[in-house]
Each structure stands twice: as structure tokens, then as C-alpha cells.
Structure 1
């Protein structure tokens, strides 16, 4: 029988620094909750809003797969690999930190907020060569469909990372129902409701709620209102 863990939006860690308003699904920075360290290989799920003209100065990472998904506004990225890019809604960025990378992220606009998800996935290979990738996905390709935006395979749909993980995004009309079939036995899925109301395996979810499900091979999904949904399938790591 499937097992699950529910994380209502209001139970997330929260830090408002003025220029940065951040909600943490899992323990991060000043938010520490022993029961919420990770979901399998999914280590960080931060829901960040950055004020105009502000951002994160250059800082290092290593041995982590870092995914950014823009929700509103524009996020500017620079790193010591020579990459400079702007991430806008529809874009998914991945950075394999591997042996070490330093990057900065700031609001590309002086006047408008930027909203984005920063997601960390524990890799299945350590000390890989650092790498960067970014792709744009059309909203119409996610209409009443779970579009794959990330996988373990460079030749598959979406960006890729060093883990047996698959991410899907969907823009679902009220009343639309579908199934998600897990890609790999032993994996779990963490569902995060970006907008609207969704029922997954009988559990009602609302905006910014999270639900982790494992020991199952499929999910039953129904949109109870117009909704946007992110599914993150990851290994459960024992």
C-alpha cells in the first residue's frame, strides 16, 4: 500500500529578509526540522521571491544538482564556468555543481519582483565535472498534460541531471483527470501544487501544498480547479 507525507503550505519554514521572502519545504538555512530534512533524493524545495534589483551574491556549491524554475519575473544567473543567462517563466535551469562551482543569482529587473523555485537533488555521482543547462517549455504543451521537463538522460525530453529523477509540469483545467506512472521501481514522487486545487490519490491539495508518495507505481490526479502542478520523481535513498 502506498505511503505518503503531507506538507501543507502553512507548515513550511519561512524567512523574510525584506529583499528575499523564502518558504522552505525542507530544512534549510535558519529553518531546521528533523522530520523534514528531505524526501528521498529531493533535499531542498525553496519558494523564493526576490525584490527588484536584489539577489544572491556569488557563492559556492559542490556535489549537488540544482534546479531553478521561474514562476514570474526574470532571474539573472552568472557562474564561474562563463555562463550568463536570464531565466523567465517557462524556463527550467539545471546546474550540476560536482567538483565545485560558484554562481550568483539576482533579479534581472530593477522594479519588479522575481518568483522562482530553487530545488536541490542529491546526485548519484560525486565529483562530476560542473555543467549548466537551460531549456524553455511552452505553456500550451502542458495544457491538460504532464510534460517532462527533466530526466536522467541527455537525449530525453527536458534538461538532465545526475540522478534517476524525472520532473513533470502540468497546466490542468478544472475537472481534468490523469494518471502518472512512475518511471523507476523504488522511486517516490513529491507533488507540489503551484496554483489551484488538486486531488492526488484521494488527498485534497491546495496552492503550495506538498505531498510525497512512495511504495506505489502510479498516481491518480484530478484538478479540482484550474491548477498548475509540479511532480518530482526521485529515488527514496533507502
Structure 2
């Protein structure tokens, strides 16, 4: 099974200070054909103007991941956390019983780009938890978020693992989704998959009961790979 989500078909929201592309239905953008994939509910590709950001708002019973691509986020929440999360770092917030937070572009002169990711938890009503970390690339697949927090990854309350994928021309990466679905979101560069289909930045591909081979078409092709539960 393939679920292909081209970058140019994503929903979009523009508010002057924010340009957001929505892989799945979110906010004012609704499409019943794109409500998520397995436990993955949101991938928003957000660009925030200098000094602007999301005012204080609330969440509950959701695992919320921020992957910073450019610039830095300034995060404040009702648990007393106040941190700056720079490009290259990963942040996770388990909203649990309820948490309010704000997220602003830390810079007054430069834009902020980040991916906002929501994953539905397998535990409800937990105490809210916040973590952030720099995780260096150690192989073609580097774990960023896992259920156990293994290998220096951040811990998530779901049977889901999120990896940063990086391949160079000449390398081949095989991904097995025979037992569990997976979702690929391209960050940068071009990646070639089955039947010479080329995926580029912003494209997404959900896969289940398949084995696929990935090849890089450009130097330093990077993506996020979600290993997801059967739901």
C-alpha cells in the first residue's frame, strides 16, 4: 500500500507572520482524504517571520515534536520550562493531562523554519513532559524519538520511532514495512524510490506491507522516517 502526498498538494495557511504547509488536515484546512497516517496526525512545515510566533495556547493527550530546520524557537510552557531550541535540535512535549505553551521565533531579524509533528499517544492522562536534545547523525538512520529513549533519543508515549534519514549518491537504504507501516517525509534533496519515482522536499510517502529501496539523487538527501503502529 502506498499513500503519496506531493508537496504542492498540501494544505496551506498564510497569516502574514506565518506560512504553513499542512501534510494532513489541520486548523482551517480540512480534507477527509488526508486525516493522518497510522498514529501520525500532523506534519506542518512552518516558516515564521522574525520576532513572531504562536501565542499561548493549550494541548492535551498529544505527543508534539518540533524539528528545527533553520533559526531557533523560544519555548515557554505552564510547567515552567523556558528554552531556546536551535536548528538541528529536536524537541518533544507530551501534553498529557494538559499544558499551555507559546513558541516564538527567537530571532528579531531572521526567519524560523521548523516541522511541527503530532503523534497520537497510546497513554492518556499522563503528567506533561518536555525534552529537547541535539542528536548527531550516526548512520543512514539515526533515532530521534523512540518508545524507550534508546541511543540518546527522546522518549515518546506511543509505539512509534522517528528517525532522521540521510543518504548520499551511491548508497541504498532498504526499508521494511511488511509488519508495520512507515511514513517518509523529505526534508532536503531528492530521493528515488520504486519505479524510479523521485521524491523532493516536502513530499511524503506512507507505506505498508512493502519493502522499498531508497537511493539519493542529490548530495546529502535528508528525510524523516516514521516507524508506526498498526491501528
Does TM, normalized by the shorter one, top 0.5?
Answer: yes
TM-score range, shorter chain: over 0.9
Within the alignment, does 1:177 sit opposite 2:182 as a pair?
A: no
Partner of 1:191: 184
Please give the TM-score of this superposition, normalised by the length of structure 2: 0.94
Counterpart of 1:81? 79
TM-aligned CA distance change 1:155 to 1:190, over 3 Å: closer
Kept after mapping to 2: 8 A contact 1:74/1:107: yes
Unaligned runs of 5+ in 2: none
**How do 1:13-52 and structure 2 match up within 5 A?**
13-52=11-50
8 Å CA contact 2:190, 2:216 repeated in 1 = yes
Partner of 1:220: 213
Question: Is the aligned partner of 1:67 residue 2:65?
Answer: yes
Q: Is the counterpart of residue 165 in structure 1 residue 160 in structure 2?
A: yes
Q: Are the counterparts in 2 of residues 199 and 205 from structure 1 also a CA contact under 8 Å? A: yes
Count of aligned positions? 229
Contact 2:143 2:151 in 1 (8 A): no
State the 1:192 CA deviation.
0.6
Question: Does the residue aligned with 2:181 lie in a helix, a strand or coil?
Answer: strand
The answer to whether the aligner puts 1:208 opposite 2:202 as a matched pair is yes
Q: Secondary structure at the match of 2:16?
A: coil
Unaligned stretches of 5+ residues in structure 1:
none
Give the RMSD, CA atoms, in angstroms.
Answer: 1.5
Return the alpha-carbon distance in structure 1 between the equivalents of residues 208 and 135 of structure 2.
Answer: 28
